[in-house]
Amino acid sequence: MRSDTADKILERLKKGGCVSGEEMARQLGISRAAVWKAVRSLRARGFAVSGEGSRGYALEACRPPRAANIRAVTRVKAPLFLFDSVPSTNDVALKLLQEGCPHLTCVAANRQSAGRGRLERKFYSPPGTGVYMSVALRGIKSFSDLLVVTPAAAVAAKRAIEERFAVQTQIKWVNDLYLQGKKVCGILTQSLTEKDGSIRGAVVGIGINVSGQMPPELQEKARSLKPDGASEKQRDALIGAVLTRLEEVCRELSSRKFMDEYRACSCVLGRQVGFERGGMEYRGVAESIDDDGALYVRAGAELIKINSGEISLSFPAGQGG
C-alpha cells in the first residue's frame, strides 16, 4: 500500500464524520479494496479508525503519540494496531494472523467490550485502567512448543511488570499472575493451523489490571498493580515492555529456558490445590511442573499429571506476592 494513498485517506478522515469506503474510493479514483488496505495501514501506524467500508469509516482519535510511547521502550518493529475500543483484541489479532501478519504484530485497546479469558469467562476490561493486548506469534516449530506459549507469556508479562512497576508477581498455574494473593493478569492463548495440520501461528492475549479499584464483586479475587492510579504513558510503556519480553521468550520455546523462571515464580508448588478430573473432585499437593508446562499433583498415593484445566488455590492473608 502506497503511503500517499493512506495519507490522503487520513486527511479526509481528519475532517470528521463518517465516510464510506465507496465514497473515498470514488473521490480518490481507487478501488474499495485499496481503501481497505489504506485503512489497515493507518491502523498499523497507530490511528484508531473505526467502522467498516459498507457502514463508513471514522477517525476516533489520533493515536500516534501513544504508538510513540510504546515504541520508545521496545525494540520490536512489527505492526502495532491501537484501538479505543474493540470487542476482543484476540479476535482482531486472529484475523490479522489469518491474513498473514508478521511475527509479534500487536493489537491493543483502551477498552474491550467483550474481553474474555479461558473457558469463555468474561475479563473485566474498563476504559483507561488496564492493558488489553494480543500479540500474533509466528514461527512456532511444533505442537510441543505450542504447549508452552502460555507459560512463556506469563514469564514475559511478569518480567515486564517488574521492570515498569517494580513489583514482584507470582504465577498461578497455568495462565494468571497474582499480587498479594489477588489476580492482576490473565492470559489467553489461541492457535491457528493450516489445512495440512501444520501450525500457522498463535495469538496470546494478555490483560493486566494496571490502575484503579476493582468492582465490589471482584475485590476479593482481583486487584490492580496501582490502585491509586497510573497514567496512560505508564500503561503504554508496559505494553512496550511486554512486547520486548515476549520477543525474548519466543526465542526460547524449543529450549524451554524460561521454564526454570516459571517454576521459581510459581505460587502453586508445595501448596494444596483442588481440581476436577473425570467428573471427580480431587485435592492434593502440587509437587512439580515439567518443561511442557504440565502440573503434577500428589493426591494420596497417586501422582496425577494435569496438562490443562483449572485448579483452585486458597491464599492465606498476605500470601501470593
Grid cell digits, residue 318? 498476605
Grid cell digits, residue 264? 521459581
Sign (positive/negative) of CA torsion 268, 272, 274, 280? Answer: positive
Separation in Å, CA 235 to CA 8, 204, 251, 275: 31, 18, 25, 34
- pLDDT above 70: residue 120: no
Q: What pLDDT score does 64 carry?
A: 53
Sequence letter at residue 274: G
- pLDDT above 60: residue 316: no
Grid cell digits, residue 189? 492463548
Query: Strand order of the sheet with strand 295-299?
Result: 302-306, 295-299, 280-289, 272-277, 311-312
Grid cell digits, residue 169? 508477581
The least confident of 44-58, 122-136, 154-168, 238-252 is 44-58
- pLDDT above 80: residue 292: yes
Q: Are 285 and 272 in contact (CB under 8 A)?
A: yes
Within 10 angstroms of residue 4's Cβ, the number of other Cβ atoms is 9
Q: Is 289 helix (H, G, I), strand (E, B) or coil?
A: strand
Which DSSP state fits 165? H
200 HSE (CA, 13 A, CB side) = 17
Element (H, E) at 270: none
**Size of the chain in residues:** 321
The CATH number fitting domain 3-59, selected from 2.60.120.1130, 3.40.190.10, 1.10.10.10, 3.40.50.620? 1.10.10.10
92-102 average pLDDT score? 89
Grid cell digits, residue 44? 498499523
The DSSP bridge partners found for residue 203 are 136, 190
For residue 316, count CB atoms less than 10 angstroms from its CB and return exposed for 0-12, middle for 13-18, buried for 19 or more.
exposed
Grid cell digits, residue 279? 467428573
Check if 3-59 and 64-264 are the same fold: no
Q: What pLDDT score does 65 carry?
A: 64
Alpha carbons 34 and 37: distance in angstroms, whole number:
5
Alpha carbons 259 and 292: distance in angstroms, whole number:
8
Q: 19 preceded by cis ω (within 30°)?
A: no
Q: Are 169 and 190 in contact (CB under 8 A)?
A: no
The mean pLDDT value of the chain amounts to 88
Write down the domain spans for the chain: 3-59, 64-264, 272-312
The least confident of 23-37, 43-57, 81-95, 199-213 is 43-57
- pLDDT above 90: residue 278: no
Q: What pLDDT score does 116 carry?
A: 63
The CATH number fitting domain 64-264, selected from 3.40.50.150, 3.40.605.10, 3.30.930.10, 3.20.20.70? 3.30.930.10
Beta-carbon contacts of residue 127 (< 8 Å; ≥ 6 apart): 84, 85, 110, 111
Q: How confident is the model at residue 11 (pLDDT cuts 50, 70, 90)?
A: confident
| 20 Cα distance to chain centroid | 31
